[in-house]
């Protein structure tokens, strides 16, 4: 895979989990990476070693005005955005039946998991279209394809992310912009560590490899998806499921 020299990338949810791993991967491949996350101390702890190639922007990506302002700052400084990777996500309350789901929790999960992806992609797409190049990756989940019992809010929000990638991929296919989703099964992240043990077992039991995926595996696949070499696949959902998804 070619490196990302002279490319400008934004990674949301960069302070932990898959976002952190992808940001480190892009930095290692010489991209200029702008890091969006509310957890500013964690961003500094993880990325202060990359003082010349990483820029920290503490940001609530569920606030459209703040997202628009942050994108404007990036464009003013770097003149372009080549890559957007949306990794921010929460599970919400899990291991409950649908009739037990509160509307408050459902709205919160959709704001973080879906609306943030909409806000950031909406803000960067005009700039990508202007130069006829761009790569957008929305991190979804196998739960968005299959629907995990006990995870209504999470599963349906990730299904919405997958559908948005399909719509956006079709809309911008002739503009040199690819927009795809990545649907991991269980990846060993702090988010998964916070789930009830029964919920994690329910998910890993469905994986033929009988294990969680690794952050390195997720970062490697993401790096290919947002590379210039991935030029003929858009509106697609890449699987990272240990054999669980074969469709």
210 vs 212: CA distance, rounded Å: 7
Which residues touch 97 (CB under 8 Å, ≥6 apart)?
Answer: 150
Say whether 133 is catalytic: no
**Which tokens belong to 247?**
């469709």
92 vs 106: CA distance, rounded Å: 8
Which residues touch 180 (CB under 8 Å, ≥6 apart)?
Answer: 136, 137, 138, 165, 169, 225, 230, 233, 234, 235, 236, 237, 238
Give per-residue burial for 40-76: e unless 16+ CB within 10 Å, then b: eebbeebbeebeeebbbbbbebbeeebbeebbeebbe
Which residues touch 21 (CB under 8 Å, ≥6 apart)?
Answer: 215, 216, 218, 219
Q: Provide Rg for the chain, Cα atoms.
A: 17
- Burial-class residue 167 by CB neighbours within 10 Å (0-12, 13-18, 19+): exposed
Of 50, 119, 133, 154, which is the active-site residue? 154
Closest C-alpha to 129, from 178, 67, 86: 178
| Active-site amino acid positions | 154
């Amino acid at each position: 895979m070619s490196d990302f020299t002279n490319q400008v990338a934004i990674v949301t949810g960069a302070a932990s989990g898959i976002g952190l791993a992808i940001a480190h991967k892009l930095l290692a491949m010489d991209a200029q990476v702008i890091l969006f996350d509310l957890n500013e101390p964690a961003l500094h702890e993880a990325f202060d070693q990359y003082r010349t190639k990483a820029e920290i922007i503490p940001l609530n990506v569920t606030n459209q005005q703040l997202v628009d302002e942050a994108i404007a700052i990036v464009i003013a400084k770097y003149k372009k955005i080549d890559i957007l990777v949306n990794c921010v996500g929460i599970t919400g309350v899990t291991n409950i039946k649908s009739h037990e789901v509160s509307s408050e929790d459902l709205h919160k999960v959709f704001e973080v998991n879906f609306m943030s992806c909409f806000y950031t992609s909406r803000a960067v797409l005009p700039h990508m279209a202007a130069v006829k190049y761009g790569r957008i990756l929305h991190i979804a989940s196998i739960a968005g394809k299959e629907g995990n019992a006990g995870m209504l809010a999470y599963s349906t929000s990730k299904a919405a992310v997958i559908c948005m990638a399909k719509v956006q991929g079709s809309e911008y296919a002739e503009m040199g912009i690819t927009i795809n989703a990545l649907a991991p099964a269980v990846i060993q992240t702090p988010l998964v560590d916070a789930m009830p043990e029964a919920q994690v077992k329910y998910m890993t039991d469905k994986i033929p490899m009988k294990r969680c995926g690794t952050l390195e595996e997720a970062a490697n696949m993401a790096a290919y998806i947002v590379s210039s070499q991935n030029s003929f696949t858009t509106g697609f959902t890449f699987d990272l499921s240990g054999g669980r998804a074969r469709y």
